[in-house]
């Protein structure tokens, strides 16, 4: 029963991606952990694949419309890719299975990852809930100082993606708008390209450390991609500015629930 719910939620994740243009992938790890029974650390690996392939499909659509800025993608993506690979191939496998034990409660690697993920969900939810729109800046070439900021933010997003398996689109899009001074649609397309590359490189970094159930993973990813096409169709009829805060409150509730469940 739980696995069926997990597959249905895979479609829902894709629909949310298509409807609001980002943020839906942050639900992938909780769905995999609580609805399919996969442990937290392998779930982050599976999430990287799901997020990677769905973002790649979305990026291909934006590329077809010439809405991707390759220079900004490289400036942000290259340092991010290196950090993601290092995190998945070296840092995550080195984390101890148990960090600390207090009475009958132990802070295990899986609980540690879920707690960090929950905090990330709560932070991401606030960027969705607030009604303040991201205002585009005049499209000019960014300065050397802005380039350094883009690189540093790329490193930060790479560390987040590598540790918890989330794409980080809620951080990348504002960086593309404010630092790279890209129009919103180009910022989203460029963000999808960066997310796809980061996630798939991170997944490759897991080879040798995780046993992959390819049949399940391909089916789950296929359902998410199908849901994304449904969401893209619905987005032409529904104003995503109304849906984004609602989705943000749901992500906030999920983040709080994960913290409560894992701590208590």
pLDDT given at position 256 = 93
Which segment of 166-170, 222-226, 246-250 scores lowest on mean pLDDT? 166-170
Average pLDDT over residues 198-208: 86
Average pLDDT over residues 245-251: 84
pLDDT at residue 138 is higher than 60: no
Among 3, 48, 29, residue whose Cα is nearest residue 115: 29
pLDDT, tens digit, 9 for 90 and up, residues 142-172? 567 778 888 898 898 888 888 887 767 777 8
pLDDT at residue 251 is higher than 80: yes
Residues 63 and 165: their CA atoms lie apart, in Å, by 24
pLDDT given at position 82 = 93
Residues 170 and 235: their CA atoms lie apart, in Å, by 18
The conformation of residue 141, written as its DSSP 8-state character, comes to P
Residues 119 and 97: their CA atoms lie apart, in Å, by 20
With a pLDDT cut of 90, the percent of the chain lying above it is 18
pLDDT, tens digit, 9 for 90 and up, residues 67-122? 899 988 999 989 999 999 999 889 988 989 999 888 888 889 988 989 988 998 89
Average pLDDT over residues 32-55: 89
Question: What are the residues whose beta carbons fall under 8 Å from the beta carbon of 17, sequence distance 6 or more?
Answer: 23, 24, 25, 54, 58, 224, 227, 228, 231
pLDDT given at position 218 = 94
Domain map (residue ranges) of the chain: 2-263
pLDDT given at position 137 = 53
> pTM, whole model, 2 decimals?
0.84
């Amino acid at each position: 029963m739980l696995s069926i719910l997990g597959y249905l939620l895979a479609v829902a994740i894709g629909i949310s991606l298509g409807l609001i243009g980002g943020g839906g992938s942050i639900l992938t790890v909780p769905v995999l952990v609580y609805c399919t029974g996969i442990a937290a650390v392998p779930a982050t690996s599976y999430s990287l694949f799901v997020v990677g392939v769905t973002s790649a499909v979305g990026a291909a659509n934006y590329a077809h419309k010439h809405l991707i800025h390759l220079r900004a993608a490289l400036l942000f993506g290259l340092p991010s890719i290196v950090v993601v690979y290092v995190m998945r191939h070296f840092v995550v496998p080195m984390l101890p299975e148990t960090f600390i034990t207090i009475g009958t409660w132990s802070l295990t690697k899986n609980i540690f990852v879920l707690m960090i993920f929950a905090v990330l969900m709560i932070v991401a939810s606030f960027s969705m809930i607030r009604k303040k729109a991201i205002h585009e800046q005049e499209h000019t070439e960014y300065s050397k100082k802005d380039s350094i900021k883009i690189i540093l933010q790329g490193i930060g997003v790479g560390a987040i993606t590598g540790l918890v398996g989330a794409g980080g689109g809620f951080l990348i899009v504002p960086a593309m708008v404010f630092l790279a001074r890209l129009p919103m649609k180009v910022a989203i397309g460029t963000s999808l390209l960066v997310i796809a590359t980061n996630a798939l490189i991170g997944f490759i970094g897991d080879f040798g450390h995780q046993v992959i159930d390819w049949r399940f993973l391909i089916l789950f990813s296929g359902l998410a991609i199908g849901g994304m096409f449904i969401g893209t169709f619905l987005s032409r009829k529904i104003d995503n500015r109304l849906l984004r805060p609602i989705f943000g409150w749901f992500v906030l509730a999920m983040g709080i629930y994960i913290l409560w469940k894992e701590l208590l």
